[in-house]
């Protein structure tokens, strides 16, 4: 799982340009799938048909997004310095001094006009990317080119650090769950979605096509376990989180109860999640067509939307175990 996570996090895939990530996933899931297709939005839809008959068989959609936050070139000045806009939730405090890789392989460093206050990060419109050019004509990128953070994966004991753990961590969990489910009474759709970071777009169109009875997003969630952090209950190493609420959606109480009861039955650690900022693909799934019972399994993650996000390896393994337990048995609602 660590090797796959390293490969996925070090692969370029900002919103709208998930192709390279999708190819890696496709190779991993093909031996375990009954059907594999790519929809018009670029989401990878992997179906595992029911292997045992059951009265309470459900059509279940599981979603983890392939894309990562990034930037898009908006202007190149006469000296070859590149101005940019965000493609997803790029924050100034994490961007200054970052390295950016573009689709054509060009890399650059984020600089700034000047600091009005030395202890404050400037706004994105006061930053630029230095790609080594000396004028507009020899600048190797152009307006409309996409870029993403460039940073290598590393391990710090059980703590795994990389860019794009949001949501390649969820992608790995979903892949490993597919591999570990030996039999299921459900019609399962493992969906690796596009363009989550710019408005949960791929999840919405995939859910419309699948028309699931239950939807579960697998994504990261913020934590409250660092100095002076937001007062939230989620912590690294304490198990996967069962989402109750985030600003974009309220989880269906039946889904919450199902997830918690399953975790307790198989004796897996879990946390209850009330997230104070952000949302997931579950928001789009929940309001598709006439509505879907939806929830989310969340992986605690520090420093979300930075180039050095952090998760705990035990949380990843326990997330796989919980998903496997949920999907291997009939549900009672």
User: Structural domains in the chain?
Assistant: 2-68+163-328 (3.40.630.10), 71-149 (2.40.30.40)
pLDDT at 96: 87
The phi and psi torsions of 168 (rounded to 5 degrees) equal: -65, -25
Q: Examine the pLDDT at 322 and tell me if it is beyond 80.
A: yes
pLDDT tens sequence across 195-240: 999 999 999 999 999 999 999 999 999 999 999 888 998 999 999 9
Catalytically active residues are 196
Spatial distance between the Cα atoms of 204 and 191, rounded to a whole number of angstroms:
11
Spatial distance between the Cα atoms of 216 and 331, rounded to a whole number of angstroms:
14
Q: Examine the pLDDT at 118 and tell me if it is beyond 80.
A: no
Spatial distance between the Cα atoms of 288 and 204, rounded to a whole number of angstroms:
6
pLDDT at 17: 97
Q: Examine the pLDDT at 314 and tell me if it is beyond 90.
A: yes
Q: Examine the pLDDT at 181 and tell me if it is beyond 80.
A: yes
If you average pLDDT over residues 294-318, what whole number do you get? 97
pLDDT at 293: 97
Mean pLDDT of the chain: 95
pLDDT tens sequence across 126-159: 999 999 999 999 999 999 999 999 999 999 999 9
Model confidence, pTM:
0.95
- Window from 20-34, 121-135, 156-170, 242-256 with minimum mean pLDDT: 121-135
Tell me the C-alpha to C-alpha distance, in Å, between residue 193 and each of 71, 189, 261, 273, 326.
19, 12, 28, 22, 21
Q: Examine the pLDDT at 332 and tell me if it is beyond 90.
A: no
């Amino acid at each position: 799982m660590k090797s796959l996570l390293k490969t996925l996090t070090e692969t370029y895939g900002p919103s709208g340009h998930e192709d390279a990530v999708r190819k890696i996933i496709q190779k991993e899931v093909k031996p375990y799938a009954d059907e594999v297709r790519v929809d018009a939005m670029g989401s990878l839809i992997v179906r595992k048909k029911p292997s045992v008959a059951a009265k309470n068989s459900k059509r279940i959609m599981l979603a983890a997004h392939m894309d990562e936050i990034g930037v898009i070139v908006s202007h190149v000045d006469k000296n070859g310095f590149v101005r940019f806009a965000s493609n997803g939730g790029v924050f100034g405090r994490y961007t200054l001094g970052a390295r950016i890789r573009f689709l054509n392989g060009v890399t650059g460093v984020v600089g700034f006009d000047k600091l009005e206050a030395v202890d404050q990060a400037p706004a994105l419109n006061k930053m630029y990317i230095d790609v080594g050019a000396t004028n507009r004509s020899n600048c190797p990128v152009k307006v409309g080119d996409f870029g993403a953070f460039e940073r290598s994966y590393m391990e710090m004991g059980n703590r795994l650090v990389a860019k794009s753990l949001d949501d390649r961590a969820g992608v790995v969990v979903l892949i490993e769950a597919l591999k570990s489910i030996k039999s299921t009474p459900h019609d399962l759709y493992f969906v690796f979605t596009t363009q989550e970071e710019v408005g949960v777009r791929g999840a919405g169109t995939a859910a419309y096509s699948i028309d699931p009875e239950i939807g579960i997003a697998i994504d990261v969630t913020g934590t409250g376990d660092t100095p002076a952090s937001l007062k939230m209950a989620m912590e690294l190493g304490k198990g996967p989180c069962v989402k109750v609420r985030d600003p974009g959606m309220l989880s269906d109480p039946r889904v919450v109860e199902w997830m918690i009861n399953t975790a307790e039955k198989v004796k897996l650690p879990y946390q209850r999640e009330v997230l104070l900022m952000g949302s997931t693909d579950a928001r789009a799934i929940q309001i598709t067509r006439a509505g879907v019972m939806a929830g989310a399994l969340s992986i605690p993650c520090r420093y979300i939307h930075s180039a050095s996000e952090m998760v705990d390896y035990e949380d990843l393994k326990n997330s796989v175990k919980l998903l496997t337990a949920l999907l291997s048995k009939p549900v009672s609602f």
